[in-house]
Amino acid sequence: MSTKGSLFLKRRVERFRNAVDAALCDAAKFNDNCPDRLGDAIRYSLLGSGKRLRPLFVLFANGLCGGDCFNAIPAACAVEMIHAYSLVHDDLPAMDNDDLRRGRLTCHKKFDEPTAILVGDALIPLAFEMLGKLPSKELLGICSLELARAAGAAALVGGQMDDIANEKNLDRKHKNASINLLEQIHLRKTGALIRVSLRLGGLIAGGSVAQIDALDRYGKNFGLAFQITDDLLDVLGNENAAGKRLHKDAEMNKWTYPALLGIKKSEEEAQRYVNEAIYALKIFDNKLPDKDILIKTAHDLIGRNK
């Protein structure tokens, strides 16, 4: 791609990111009934320096299906709110027990555990309140249902539950079954929110069944590649660049792709899922800038450092 072309895409991503950050900032202002400490902790956890991958996916998918991306901003914020809550709760001592997130103290370290639990409790309804800003009641209904399912017991929360159960060594005997189980965990724990981000963007743009299906396949394969590269990052990465503690998976005896497959095979698997994700986009017009962005985002997963 020409330098001019890549500059155009870079500016588009920046514009989307700024729009999401401004809307998140706006949504995290509360009236006097919200205690200051809670409001501060919500803003600390929501507005930190995350990649904003999921909200950007909502907007790219929306653009790919011909939408006016700014109609999709409420859904972009909603998925980021669910994501932010899941990170805050995942970092708690009862779960992953992490001190660092996004290059600074985790919410419960900066504030305290009850506050961190309540931050999560508040971010979930805030996400659905955000969906109330979508342009129609019909979209509010469809998007609420999709997001509730993706965040629910058979998706995000269920994946987290099974991940915790594995850490406690349940069923470790069945090594052959474990790679399948690992994939089932990550399709839910990591994949469900990524997948729903793409679906919401497409649905808000009024995308066809074939388009939503293609976005869903991109999301599913991207989600698995994302998890494998996250696992590789834990083994090979640099803590300063990643902004979180690394080498924890082996310490905690976690089931990960490198632990089960080795580094080389994990890298091959990540590449295979990246290729599948990109292939899923073949039905979309090559002239659409958001198609190039989604392709580049998938390629960039390989060898990422944060």
By CB under 6 A, is residue 86 in contact with ligand GRG? yes
| CB within 8 Å of 33: residues ≥ 6 apart | none
Assign residue 302 a region: left if phi > 0, alpha if psi is -120 to 50, beta otherwise? beta
Identify which range of 85-93, 198-206, 262-270, 294-302 contacts ligand GRG by CB under 6 A.
Answer: 85-93
Q: What are phi and psi of 254, to 5 degrees?
A: -80, 150
Q: Report residue 177 as tokens.
A: 């079954």
Interface positions, 210-249, toward ligand GRG (CB under 6 A): 227, 230
By CB under 6 A, is residue 98 in contact with ligand GRG? no
Question: Quick one: 189 or 195, whose CB is closer to ligand GRG?
Answer: 189
> For the chain, how far is it from start to end, CA to CA, in angstroms?
25
Q: Is 300:225 a contact under the CB 8 Å cutoff?
A: no
Q: Report residue 161 as tokens.
A: 């539950």
Interface positions, 170-209, toward ligand GRG (CB under 6 A): 189-190
For residue 155, the minimal CB distance to ligand GRG (Å) is: 10
Question: Quick one: 101 or 207, whose CB is closer to ligand GRG?
Answer: 101
For residue 157, the minimal CB distance to ligand GRG (Å) is: 5
Q: Is 115:168 a contact under the CB 8 Å cutoff?
A: no
For residue 253, the minimal CB distance to ligand GRG (Å) is: 15
By CB under 6 A, is residue 87 in contact with ligand GRG? yes
For residue 250, the minimal CB distance to ligand GRG (Å) is: 14
- Report the chain's C-alpha Rg in angstroms: 19
Could you tell me which of 26, 127, 35 has the C-alpha nearest to residue 85? 127
Identify which range of 24-32, 155-163, 278-286, 294-302 contacts ligand GRG by CB under 6 A.
Answer: 155-163
Q: Is 232:263 a contact under the CB 8 Å cutoff?
A: yes
Helices and strands of the chain, counted as H and E runs? 16, 2
For residue 237, the minimal CB distance to ligand GRG (Å) is: 12
Could you tell me which of 108, 104, 80 has the C-alpha nearest to residue 96? 108
Interface positions, 245-284, toward ligand GRG (CB under 6 A): none
Could you tell me which of 154, 139, 295 has the C-alpha nearest to residue 225? 295
- Residues 221, 177: Cα–Cα separation, whole Å: 20
Question: Quick one: 89 or 205, whose CB is closer to ligand GRG?
Answer: 89
For residue 126, the minimal CB distance to ligand GRG (Å) is: 16
- Residues 153, 131: Cα–Cα separation, whole Å: 20
Total Cβ atoms within 10 A of residue 292: 19
Write the binding mask 41 to 80 for ligand GRG: x where contact by CB under 6 A, - elsewhere: ---------xx-x---------------------------
For residue 230, the minimal CB distance to ligand GRG (Å) is: 4
Among 102, 199, 220, 291, binds ligand GRG (CB under 6 A): 102
By CB under 6 A, is residue 89 in contact with ligand GRG? yes
Question: Quick one: 126 or 205, whose CB is closer to ligand GRG?
Answer: 126
The residue whose Cβ lies closest to ligand GRG is 50
- Footprint on this chain of ligand GRG (rule: CB under 6 A): 50-51, 53, 83, 86-87, 89-90, 102, 156-157, 160, 189-190, 227, 230
